[in-house]
Structures are given as C-alpha cells and as structure tokens.
Structure 1
Amino acid sequence: MSHRHIIAILRGITPEEAVPVCAALVEAGITLIEVPLNSPNATESISRAAAALSGRAEIGAGTVLSEEDVRAVAQAGGTFIVSPDTYEPVIAETVRLGLKSYPGVFSPSDAFRAIRAGATGLKFFPAEVLGSKGIKALKAVLPPSLPLYAVGGANPDNFDEFFAVGCAGFGLGTYIYTPGRSAAEVGQRAATAVAAYDKGATA
C-alpha cells in the first residue's frame, strides 16, 4: 500500500466518530491516520478504524510515551507510532514489534538520537517555531533518504515552503480535525490538503 506523506492527527476523536471520520479521510486520499493516546478511549478508536479500513489505510497512535503504550497500540491493530520526543525505549519497542516510528525532534541532538534508536522518519515539531530555515539547516546533516515531516503549523498554504527545504510530508492536526467536526467537513479539508500536497510533490 502506497501513501501520500500526510498524517491526519485526530486529537480528541471518540470511538463512535472514528470509523466515519477515518473513512472520509481515506475517500479524500489521506491514508495515514494518527489517533493521539490522550484522546478518549484511543485504543478502541484505533481498533475500530484499523478493522474497518484494513488494506485501505494505516492507523497509528500519537502522543506515545511508554513501551506499554506501544504494546497496547500494536495489540489494537495500529501500525505506526508517533511520539512527542526521542525517548529511546519507545522507539526501540516500536521497532521490535515491527511498527514504524516517527519521533518528534527539534535539534540535531534529538534527530541523531532518534536515528540511532531506529526511527523510520522524523517529525519536526513544532515546525512553525523551527521554521523552514531551521529544517533546511538540519536537513544538510541528516541521511538523505530519511523522510522528514513538518508538524505543528503546517497547512496547505505553506506546504511549498516545507517541500522546498526537503520535507517529505506533513502532520495535520487542527487544520483537519477538531472535536465535533463532522466527517463531511473533515473530508472537505482533507481534499484541500491532498490537492496542495499533490501539486507541491510534483513541482
């Protein structure tokens, strides 16, 4: 299964909303979907979405802080882990279980700690603070094949800015979803993001 490098971050979603909202995202072309663990009954949302969209999307977890969290996500059917920091035991457990690891980084020390621990890709967070210039400077010393994601302030209006400095993709939170937003509106916002991503990725 090939994916656009867009991760939809559904912070605050409930298990009841999970399947219709995730289905709307997939219909719009976003097939990497993160349920942060500080959402209500997050592993239940992951389980329902992973079962309903098997073969069509990858469902993962965000705000993952412990090895126990990683194991719970894997048991629920999640396939990737997004963590806010570079806590090596979380990255190592993610790799051990065959899941993909996207830790949050801000500095060169963070980035190389994550790489040495086995990260699949790096989440530059908050991207709006680090900025495209900061990412460009860091990109110069990172492995060229390692995918970099701008998260925290990235949106369709500035995709081009981050593409230009070597980012492969984006994590989209409140732009895509806030609690109570309908599946239809989530789908519309996702379609706008996909159009901007496709335009930037082929530029």
Structure 2
Amino acid sequence: MKQELLSRLLESGIIAVVRKVEEEKVIQVITSLVEGGITGIEVTMDSPNALLAISEAKKLFGDQAVIGAGTVLDGHSAHLAIQAGADFIFAPTLSQETIAVSKRYGKIVIPGVFTPTEILQAYEWGADIVKVFPASVLGSQFIKDVRGPLGQIPMMPTGGISLENIEEYIKAGAVAAGVGGSLLNKEYIQNNEWDKLTDLARQYTNKVVNARK
C-alpha cells in the first residue's frame, strides 16, 4: 500500500505546495492542480483549517493524487495530520520524532535536509525521500554531486523551483520536486482563473516528462 502511494506520489514528479490559500478556494485550487496531472498535493499546516482541507482533499482526490501535510515541525503535528487523512508528511527540517511518528502509522515521510550529513541521517532514521531545502541556495549541481556518494537516497529539491529550472533538477537525479509559489499563481487564484492554473500545472508535468526521457 505505502509503496503504491509512493509510486503515485512520484509519478508526476511534482508535489504542489498549497500554502495559506483562502479556505473557500483551497479545494478548487487542488482540483485545478490534479486536472493538470499533478499527483502530489501538500497542504501546509500553517494554512487556515489545514486539517479540514487535508481530510476533504483526501475524500475527493484520494484515488487520483496523494494528499499530504507540509510544514510539519514535530511529532504531534504529524499525528494530527495523519489522523486527518494525510498520506505523507513533508517537513522543512529534520526531526527524528516526526519521522518516528510517520513510520509508526505507515506513512510516507519526507524531512527537510541541507547537508550531506543530514541527508544520510534522515535516511538512517527512516525517511522515504529527503527534501533538499532550500534548493534555490544549493542548486541542481548539489543534487548531482551528492548523488555520487549517496545515490541510494531519493532526493526532492524544494524552494525556488520554477518552470525554467525544474528540468535541470530532474536531470541531476531528483526523483521529484516540491513546487510552491511559481505554480500556485496568486493572480490566477485571486481571479478564479482555474483553467490557467490547470494549464500551468500541465506545463510543469510536461517539463518532468521531457527531463525523464
């Protein structure tokens, strides 16, 4: 079951970071992203009524996309998110407690790391994938270089990923990328331009397909 979810999560190569979207628009935003082919949706815990949004999204899109919680800073938050239905836990930092709680309930866990030491530590503690964050500071060359000695550890850059650079990260060996602001176009959301948001999501998934060839 978990392996199946992991495969689906990585299928599109994109985890969309849904952060602080207005409560009444969040489901429409997720609908547009899923229609654009994105298979990983992360609702951040600092969003309004995040747990409700996760629960709702899981009911509606659970068979098309993998729904998870982001910005999870501790085991307690991880537990609440899992109770709400989150299939994966995405964290900006490396917390052994967060990994342990996620593993206890058989959920996918992707902690944030910045150095080769943290990458290995996260993996030894049981991370399924490591979130290299903020990727904008490290660049795609970092992924390429670190994959030399640590190629067995799946890496997912997040932070500063755009249409312009996503292909180079995938080509450098990233299994997927976490994409926030450059995908969740504020103007489109504000103006309810859902077709444009779906189109943008499709542009991202197409970039991944090209990079994986």
Question: Shorter-chain-normalised TM-score: which range?
Answer: over 0.9
Query: 2:85 and 2:186 mapped to 1: Cα distance?
Result: 23
Give the superposition deviation at 1:179: 5.3
For structure 2, the residue ranges without an aligned partner over 5 or more in a row are none
TM-score normalized by the length of structure 2: 0.89
Is 1:174 aligned to residue 185 of structure 2? no
Q: In the alignment, does 2:24 pair up with 1:16? A: yes
Residues 28-67 of structure 1 show CA distances to partners (whole Å, capped at 9, x for unaligned) of: 1001100110111111111111111121111101100111
Q: Deviations over 1:90-130 (max 9, x none)?
A: 01111111110111111012111100110010111111111
Match of 2:100 in 1: 92
Q: Superposed, which structure 2 residues align to 1:36-47 within 5 Å?
A: 36-47=44-55
How far, CA to CA, are the matches of 1:148 and 1:84 in structure 2? 14
Say if 2:65 is the partner of 1:57. yes
Q: CA RMSD in A?
A: 1.5
Comparing both structures, which one devotes a greater share of its residues to helix?
2
User: Contact conserved, 1:14 with 1:42, CA < 8 A, in 2?
Assistant: no
Q: Which amino acid aligns with 1:199?
A: N
Give the letter for the 2:175 counterpart.
A
Match of 2:124 in 1: 116
Equivalent position amino acid for 1:90 in 2 = T
Contact 2:162 2:183 (8 Å CA) reproduced: no
Structure 1 range deviating more: 180-189 or 159-168: 180-189
Match 1:154 to one of 161, 170, 173: 161
Q: Contact between 1:11 and 1:178, CA under 8 Å: does it hold in 2?
A: no
Does residue 199 of the first structure (1) align with residue 210 of the second (2)? yes
What secondary structure sits across from 1:141 in the alignment?
A: helix
Q: What amino acid is the match of 1:174? A: G
C-alpha distance in 1 between matches for 2:17 and 2:31: 14
Partner AA of 1:167 in structure 2: A
TM-score norm. by structure 1 comes to: 0.93
Match of 2:134 in 1: 126
Kindly tell me the number of residue pairs found equivalent between the two proteins. Answer: 201
Gaps of 5+ in 1: none
CA distance in 2, matches of 1:200, 1:191: 14
Change over 3 Å in CA distance of 1:179–1:93 after alignment to 2: farther
Deviation at 1:21, TM superposition (A): 1.4
- The match for 1:185 is 196
Residue type of the alignment partner of 1:188 = D
Report the Cα offset of residue 199 of structure 1: 1.0
CA distance in 1, matches of 2:52, 2:104: 23
